[in-house]
Structure 1
Amino acid sequence: MLERKVAKRLILSLATWRNLVSFIHIDPAVRADVQDIESLVLDIDWGNGVDPATLPDFEMQARQARYRLVATAALQRNIRDLFLGHHQDDQVETILMRLIRNPSTSFLGLQGMAEESAIPCCEDIRGAHEVEQYEPLPDWLFHIDGTVSNVSESKRGINFAKQVTVSRKGGLRMHRPLLQFPKSRLIQTCKDNGVIYQKDKTNDDPTLTLRNAVRDLRKDRHGSNNEQHLPRALQAHSILQLCEHARKSTSSLMARGTEVLRMIKVDIFDLRCGSMTMTVPKNFVAACETDLAAGANALARLTSAISYQSRDDVPTLVPKERVLEFLEACRSPRSRSLTIQKVLLEKPDNDTVNSEDNQVRWKLSRPPMRSSEVKSAEQRFRPKVDGFSGEETTGTSQMDLDTVGGVWSDWILWDHRYWMRVRVPDTASVPEVHVRPYRQSDAPYVFSALNKEDSIMLRKILAEAGPGKLRYTLPVLTYQNRLLLFPTLNVLVPDLSTRDPGTVSIQCPLLDWEICYKVLDQPFIVEQARAIRWRNAVVRRDGDT
């Protein structure tokens, strides 16, 4: 009875708050009655002549397009909380679908939909998972550790002294307040209170999607959701018990993984190249040997801070074999190098930080790019478009009033690691600015364009921030195929034809740029942020020498 009162209150509240709540409906172009719904209707563009119902992976493509449309619409309207209408029947269907697709799935795949979560499929939409505005590194440090005070960033350098920083966690949150209620109860509550509801007739076609087929399977021969004809293991009560057990198991795994991660000390995080140096004590190895699952979770979360994997592809566990390989490398006195989840882990020969405690130092970095990755890593900037008018916009920097004027590009996510945007004099210049990896063939031009002093400086920076092949994973910005700058290093490359460093600001079309590393919200980073040596500009605290 209490649950019914809650459902009634929520439905009536939504009906009452129509002027305060935005209703968004995504039309997959397979319904004929969508025009009768009073809400913001967003259409999925499948391309000319494409019937979405005939696509073999229609359900997955529709899901991705739906979330991306909702995220974009929400951000344009300054909406941060999204309330979805998924109910208990949807939850049961989701778990049954996962069992059908992968009968041997672990408990990790049986948790169903969460009551609150981040929005999926939107990694490259700035603001979906992070605060959109650029924030200097000292400000980011203060937000995650309020005890950090008297922090200053060097004001020397170009680009209004802006340096590569870290994206602060934020963005959109999805809420599913109706998961505990079956659909029948929600419908009855609407009927009892005179609330009009719309039925999606495409849900009745069992041949359209797997979910529809599962939904049809759960109906009895009279078309109702009376599950008595199903084996007990397939009935809602059993499926929901399975879901609850999976959630408890996952929660336990994450807690154990967090405790293992806290044993690691992060010494250096170099934002210029996205590398991390850490110290691994012997008790970490012992803990992983005792609880391999916790070790697998710890390694997955550890490598996620550096990996160029898509956010949606980051696993909860790394394979057992990779955990054992890493532990063996920790015990070995020899130098070792291995790759886990698209992260290169390197241990120098006999590099024991403390022989008595047998602590070992590791460096994590992006592996050298393959030729296919180099090609896909070249992106062009796009003018920022106003979400309401559809027109290109001009903007002002978040940092300094002196940057007024020009046109900001939209944010782009490069290599799943760096967010960046540029400001140029006019809209036509924006698509001419590209970002790509630094190449070995760039070196002759770069060092010929720089004067002797700047060449020496850049060589020193590359030796520290990009030793060996790591430098060929650094982003560079180009304009009409001319290399302009290293945005993470804040090094401008003058136009070789001018031979006059004093004219760089005239020759370079960039008025401003902002670059942020991806969100770093793992506890082992957040809890150590105060002690980590962050490398980009010079960051000073009271007491530093």
Structure 2
Amino acid sequence: MASRNPISLKEFISLMNKFHIKKEEPLGMKCVAVSGGVDSMALCYLLNKFSKEFKHKLTAFIIDHKFRPESTEESYRVANILSKLDIDTKIMQINWEISEGNNLSDTLTFPTISQQETFARIERYKLLARGCHERKISSLFLGHHHGDQLETVIMRLARGSGINGLTSMEYISQFPIIRNVESLGINIIRPFLRLNKNRLIETCKAENIPWFEDSTNLSKDYKRNVVRLAINELNQRYLNGQSEYEPLSTEGLSRFMEHMNYHKNCVKSKVKMIVSNSIKFDSDNGICSLYLPKNLPHDHWFREKYLGTRIIALIIRWIQCSEQVPRLDSVLRCYQHIMSSYTSHNLSNITIHGVLLNPGKIIPFGNTDSQPWIFFRQPVKVSHDNVTIQQINPGDVVLWDKRFFIGLDENIPLSHESSIFKVRRFCESDIHQFFKMNSTIESQKRFRYYLSQVSPIGRYTIPVLISQDKHAVSEKLIGYPTLNIILYPEIHCWVNFDVFGGVKLFLARLGCFCAFRLLLGIGGFGLSFFVGLVWWVVVVGGFRSFMLSFLVGLVVVDGFRLFLVGY
């Protein structure tokens, strides 16, 4: 039976020590996201005690999602409770009707019920990132507990997630949504992941900390609520002595997550070796090269379809800085295109899922001659060039092409004060213009090197900084930020491509994909039973339909197997 004891300050300090947040470390500022529910109120109370103990400063961000009529009043009541605890508090409201281009969720209207969970998450993280950035805070604490872990696993399983989704959340992780520069460098910390919700309730009761129950938590219009109710029902049946429900009890699901973590870690070292030996990332320009032997041995890792396709899929995500997994058919086409070159000897370009794949020249790489396959962003059609043009004001940072953060210093010389600065796509005419202008020998070397190393078909995918006089049509070339070439030294600009954590994220996700393939190879039947039970409880709801549910489980798992082995 899980403990129902309140969480003491001593126990909480022990939890915090796992993150190396100790008395001797002058962290200074930290913040906590507060919804008003028991999870975040318990976390806020304990963090406040911890901060006072070690002389740290705590800020609480209260998010008002504006989904319920009473949410705004409720957020002010939460702020009043926290102010009595001497906690610096800021209420953040999501505005669903702001002007075009500001909402990260790409919606300008109030979301439908089916959209609310997804869009609210995006907007919530946007506000939290902005709040952290304004206060120079790099640690954001969230109140996710063990029950949230289990719900997330079931929801991801239903979506066909790989092992990355079926492993437990990390105590410390990178900011999950990065589409604005404020998100960079923020860590998410979840101290309660191994604690059950009952202990958080008992903590608030023991310390007389009020909390608010969200009325929508009981609505079956939301997937997470349906999953939560199903897990609770299954767990209760197991506790009542029905042992056949053990696999879907909280105990069984916890063990399942531990198995996922084990298999993920099993392949991690192998994945690192493959990436270090076979892949080269050019994060300055958003280009990735995959090096394969000119003559591919029969035992080469790329011939393992499940692994080769995962490498390709994750390179595509890296190139696009995308949160979405590329389509299976697109990745398979790319894999088959490369593999067919070893039989047909036909080396040609192919464009897949917004990415251009170009075979490079045979070069020595490691101990053998290698065939490089170079992945670029698919070049924009000339007719669509206007889409790539983005104005940037002095002191601002823009996300260009959803890949490059570009910042312009606010101190612009008087000679440029009448100029409008813009970022657009590199085009062929820029080459001629560059060589007509005065530039340093070092800049010329760097520019010529880029032209020599990057195929003409893929080189026009990087950003160019230009300026236009407010009263003129013609433009002036300022520089190539990704090449560290600025033709006017008095203008300062910076660029960052590595939006989603780059290689580290690549390695983590690749390890997850490979391990789940290994798991399916040894435990598909058991997982079929597992998925069948989920389907039965959540969707069907009757024992007479269990065999049908079990068949559904087999179909789902076989679908996963096809997805993971062939993709």
Report the CA distance between 1:14 and its aligned residue: 2.1
* Match in the other structure for 1:202: 215
Structure 2 Cα separation of the partners of residues 379 and 436 of structure 1: 6
Report the CA distance between 1:516 and its aligned residue: 3.5
Equivalent residue in structure 1 for 2:167, among 100, 111, 126: 111
Q: Flag the 1:204–1:300 CA change in 2: closer, same or farther, 3 A.
A: closer
Report the CA distance between 1:206 and its aligned residue: 0.9
Q: Flag the 1:377–1:237 CA change in 2: closer, same or farther, 3 A.
A: farther
Report the CA distance between 1:62 and its aligned residue: 0.3
8 Å contact 1:263–1:283 — kept in the other structure? no
Structure 2 Cα separation of the partners of residues 89 and 27 of structure 1: 23
1:294 aligns with 2:280: no
Tell me, what secondary structure is at the counterpart of 1:57?
helix
Structure 2 Cα separation of the partners of residues 246 and 42 of structure 1: 36
Tell me, what secondary structure is at the counterpart of 2:476?
strand
* Match in the other structure for 1:82: 140
1:46 aligns with 2:96: yes
Equivalent residue in structure 2 for 1:262, among 276, 297, 303: 276
Report the CA distance between 1:416 and its aligned residue: 3.5
8 Å contact 1:116–1:175 — kept in the other structure? yes
Report the CA distance between 1:44 and its aligned residue: 0.8
More helix by share: 2
Counterparts of residues 422-433 of structure 1 (less than 5 Å):
422-423=408-409, 424-425=412-413, 432-433=420-421
Q: Flag the 1:295–1:197 CA change in 2: closer, same or farther, 3 A.
A: farther
Q: Flag the 1:515–1:347 CA change in 2: closer, same or farther, 3 A.
A: same
Structure 2 Cα separation of the partners of residues 195 and 14 of structure 1: 16
Counterparts of residues 9-158 of structure 1 (less than 5 Å):
9-10=11-12, 13-17=46-50, 20-29=57-66, 30=68, 31=71, 32-37=73-78, 38=82, 39-47=89-97, 52=110, 54-100=112-158, 102=159, 104-126=160-182, 128-129=183-184
Q: Flag the 1:448–1:347 CA change in 2: closer, same or farther, 3 A.
A: closer
Q: What do the CA deviations read for 1:132-189 (whole angstroms, capped 9, x no partner)?
A: xxxxxxxxxxxxxxxxxxxxxxxxxxxxxxxxxxxxxxx1111211111221122123
1:215 aligns with 2:228: yes
1:477 aligns with 2:477: no
8 Å contact 1:378–1:435 — kept in the other structure? yes
Q: Flag the 1:257–1:42 CA change in 2: closer, same or farther, 3 A.
A: same
Report the CA distance between 1:518 and its aligned residue: 2.3
Report the CA distance between 1:16 and its aligned residue: 1.5
Q: Could you state the TM-score of these two structures normalised by the residue count of structure 1?
A: 0.65
8 Å contact 2:357–2:373 — kept in the other structure? yes
Report the CA distance between 1:51 and its aligned residue: 8.5
8 Å contact 1:111–1:244 — kept in the other structure? yes
Structure 1 Cα separation of the partners of residues 138 and 447 of structure 2: 44
Q: Flag the 1:256–1:43 CA change in 2: closer, same or farther, 3 A.
A: same
Counterparts of residues 370-519 of structure 1 (less than 5 Å):
370=381, 374-382=385-393, 408-423=394-409, 424-425=412-413, 432-440=420-428, 446=433, 450=437, 460=448, 463-464=451-452, 467-480=455-468, 482-488=475-481, 489=483, 511-518=491-498
Structure 2 Cα separation of the partners of residues 431 and 6 of structure 1: 62
Structure 2 Cα separation of the partners of residues 110 and 275 of structure 1: 30
Structure 2 Cα separation of the partners of residues 58 and 204 of structure 1: 13
8 Å contact 1:352–1:358 — kept in the other structure? yes
Report the CA distance between 1:258 and its aligned residue: 2.0
Structure 1 Cα separation of the partners of residues 213 and 341 of structure 2: 56
8 Å contact 1:253–1:294 — kept in the other structure? no
Q: Flag the 1:460–1:443 CA change in 2: closer, same or farther, 3 A.
A: closer
Structure 2 Cα separation of the partners of residues 347 and 295 of structure 1: 16
Structure 1 Cα separation of the partners of residues 150 and 2 of structure 2: 22
Structure 1 residue ranges without an equivalent (≥5):
130-170, 383-407, 494-503, 527-545
Q: Flag the 1:298–1:251 CA change in 2: closer, same or farther, 3 A.
A: farther
Report the CA distance between 1:512 and its aligned residue: 2.3
Tell me, what secondary structure is at the counterpart of 1:16?
helix
Aligned-partner residue type, residue 348 of structure 2: R
Report the CA distance between 1:303 and its aligned residue: 5.0
* Match in the other structure for 1:326: 338
Structure 2 Cα separation of the partners of residues 356 and 121 of structure 1: 40
8 Å contact 1:435–1:477 — kept in the other structure? yes
Tell me, what secondary structure is at the counterpart of 2:173?
strand
Structure 1 Cα separation of the partners of residues 363 and 447 of structure 2: 29
* Match in the other structure for 1:134: none
Report the CA distance between 1:263 and its aligned residue: 2.5
Structure 2 residue ranges without an equivalent (≥5):
13-41, 83-88, 100-107, 508-567
Between Structure 1 and Structure 2, how many residues are aligned? Answer: 433
8 Å contact 1:270–1:465 — kept in the other structure? no
* Match in the other structure for 1:155: none
8 Å contact 1:263–1:284 — kept in the other structure? no
Q: Flag the 1:437–1:283 CA change in 2: closer, same or farther, 3 A.
A: same
Report the CA distance between 1:315 and its aligned residue: 6.6
Structure 1 Cα separation of the partners of residues 121 and 418 of structure 2: 31
Q: What do the CA deviations read for 1:43-99 (whole angstroms, capped 9, x no partner)?
A: 111127999574430110000011111111112111111111011222222223334
Report the CA distance between 1:458 and its aligned residue: 10
**How big is the alpha-carbon RMSD for the aligned residues of Structure 1 and Structure 2?**
4.5
Structure 2 Cα separation of the partners of residues 70 and 359 of structure 1: 46
Q: Flag the 1:243–1:376 CA change in 2: closer, same or farther, 3 A.
A: farther
Q: Could you state the TM-score of these two structures normalised by the residue count of structure 2?
A: 0.63
Q: Flag the 1:295–1:413 CA change in 2: closer, same or farther, 3 A.
A: same
Tell me, what secondary structure is at the counterpart of 1:263?
helix
8 Å contact 1:380–1:433 — kept in the other structure? yes
Structure 1 Cα separation of the partners of residues 193 and 248 of structure 2: 18
Percent identity between matched residues is: 22
8 Å contact 1:263–1:280 — kept in the other structure? no
Tell me, what secondary structure is at the counterpart of 1:212?
helix
8 Å contact 2:421–2:465 — kept in the other structure? yes
Q: What do the CA deviations read for 1:5-51 (whole angstroms, capped 9, x no partner)?
A: 79433266424146522222211122242211123221111127999
Q: Flag the 1:452–1:333 CA change in 2: closer, same or farther, 3 A.
A: same
283-292 vs 54-63, greater mean Cα deviation = 283-292
Structure 1 Cα separation of the partners of residues 232 and 485 of structure 2: 65
Q: Flag the 1:425–1:225 CA change in 2: closer, same or farther, 3 A.
A: farther
1:252 aligns with 2:266: yes
